[in-house]
Amino acid sequence: MISVPKMFVAALLAAALVSPLAAQQRPTPPAVLAPAPPYPVFADLVLAAPVIVDAAIRSTTRIKGAEAATVPLGFVRLYIEADVLALVRGAQALPPRIGYLLDVQPDSRGRLPALKRLRVLLFARTVAGSANQLQLVRPDAQRAWTPAAAELTRRITTEAVAETAPPEITGIGNAFHVPGALPGQGETQIFLITADGRPVSLGIARTPDAPPRWGVSLSDVVDQRGAPPPRDTLLWYRLACALPPTLPDSALHNTEPANADIAREDYRFVIESLGACERE
């Protein structure tokens, strides 16, 4: 067991990090065969993390005493040293060895989880002036590496950094329904609010004796041929995990009650079509 100097622990508590030891030969981590969590779980992590690392844990050191005063009840704080296997996302290269803090929960017998040599995915940020130190973006931002988790992480990262990446949805603007010439015919348009002001709208078309059709448009021109986004894509995630369950009344001001009811029904159809935003 390595000893972490108190001066490093103080810096760790200030920036959630301590200084690592010199790099050594990387171990061969064991594979963990398990399915990846639901898409939204990893999308949350990828979008929050400027640095994503595929790493192998080399050693753990338990932090005790005053330095562990902020640890949540029932948890233990560890200083982790890990060897970098691959940089999945990051503005600059990392050194071969990195260090970070992790709070873990002992089992019913007080035993800590076996982490040494475990291959992990880290969703983190660097600390200014300490390129070899990482701070996890969330308490659960260390994830066991599996082929499925690694593939999902890389796929979401590729979607997130693309020029065509859909914007973050922050609310609903205006919505209205326009009846058609025939009974049961009409169209509902719902304009969404985004974090960067880019346009996103939903269009729901109704025809007699047929189920509604809907699509999403990412331009100022509402595309009547737009289609629903495939599940487990970034656009699906932006909608399914951000839209409220019901259409707010504020989006339907100056709308006739009958048309407002149809707009609400069409919006509910979209929400049901998207499906639940499943998180752990």
Question: What pLDDT shows up at residue 34?
Answer: 64
Question: Would you give per-residue pLDDT tens digits along the chain (280 residues)?
Answer: 444 544 344 444 444 433 333 333 444 454 455 676 899 999 999 999 999 999 999 999 999 888 788 899 999 999 999 999 999 999 999 999 999 999 999 998 989 999 999 999 999 999 888 889 999 999 999 999 999 999 999 999 999 999 999 999 999 999 999 999 898 899 999 999 999 999 999 999 999 988 999 999 998 776 666 789 999 999 999 999 999 999 999 999 889 999 999 999 999 999 999 999 998 7
Do 201 and 189 form a contact (C-beta atoms < 8 A)? yes
Which listed CATH number (3.90.1150.10, 1.20.210.10, 2.40.50.120, 3.40.50.300) goes with 6-161?
Answer: 2.40.50.120
**pLDDT for position 131:** 83
Q: In angstroms, rounded to a whole number, what is the distance separating the alpha carbons of residues 86 and 100?
A: 16
Q: Would you state the pLDDT for residue 17?
A: 37
List every span in the chain annotated with CATH 2.40.50.120. Answer: 6-161
CA distance 185 to 189: 14
Phi, psi at residue 158, to the nearest 5°? -60, -45
